[in-house]
Amino acid sequence: MLEATARIRHHVEGVVKADFLNGATSFDAVAMNIVVIGESVVHLPPELKAGEPETPWRQIVASRNLVAHGYPELDPDVIWTIITTQLDSLDAATRRMLTKLGET
């Protein structure tokens, strides 16, 4: 998940919202990484997710499902909001889980 969030940040670095909303390449790359994040969440052990109750795990998976199955109806504003407001907290939760697993 950390790699996917880093890739998202790379694709939107220096990009303003208007350019993101109109730029298919960045949007597509970000959308693909949202799928990667959602897939990763699906495979996390439930007890690990339970240790991070503030993280909106179901919404993360729902975002993945929306990107994967409803791409034509995907609202770029929603994706922009996700990437500008949710990545830091997801990274923090991921790092805490890795610490619990002894992987940092």
Asked whether the whole model's pTM tops 0.95, one would answer no
Which pLDDT score is estimated for 21? 85
Mind listing the pLDDT tens digit for each residue in 16-75?
A: 898 888 877 888 899 999 999 999 999 999 999 999 999 999 999 999 999 999 877 788
Instruction: List Cβ neighbours of 49 (8 Å cut-off, separation of 6 or more).
Output: 41, 55, 57
Which pLDDT score is estimated for 104? 62
Instruction: List Cβ neighbours of 24 (8 Å cut-off, separation of 6 or more).
Output: none
Please return the burial class of 13, using the count of CB atoms within 10 Å of its CB with bins 0-12, 13-18 and 19+. exposed
Which domain range does residue 52 map to?
A: 2-100
Whether residue 101 is predicted with pLDDT greater than 80 in this model: the reply is: yes
Count structural domains, the chain: 1
Question: What number is the average pLDDT over the span 2-12?
Answer: 96
